[in-house]
Amino acid sequence: MSLDTQKLDGSQRQQIMMSVQQQLALQNAQELLQKLSDKCFKACVAKPGSSLSSSEQKCITSCSDRYMDAWHIVSRTYAERIKREQYRH
């Protein structure tokens, strides 16, 4: 199925763009959570079992918090850099 965007009015194009942006945001969030889970599980759980120990739970919580803090810093810095680049041109 192909979509001829020339036949769409501005409102329809805007709706499609919003839908695509939402899908990309969801995909990015899922990827972030997957990476966070993989990284923190590998760092905190030496021998997987049927449940997590208290220390493993604390480690995963701490690891997740650090990962999210770092992700926010990188995202904010990247967004600021893009804005600066846009103002230059």
Looking at residues 57-82, what average pLDDT do you find?
94
Threshold 0.85, pTM exceeds: no
Which tens digit of pLDDT belongs to each residue from 31-43?
Answer: 999 999 999 999 9
Q: Quick check: is 1 in a domain?
A: no
**How far is it between the farthest Cα atoms of the chain?**
59
How many domains are contained in the chain? Answer: 1
Is 5 within a domain? no
In a domain, 2, yes or no: no
* C-alpha angle 66-69-71 in degrees, rounded to nearest 5: 110
| Rounded CA separation 31/15 (Å) | 24
In a domain, 82, yes or no: yes
CB atoms within 10 A of CB 22: 10
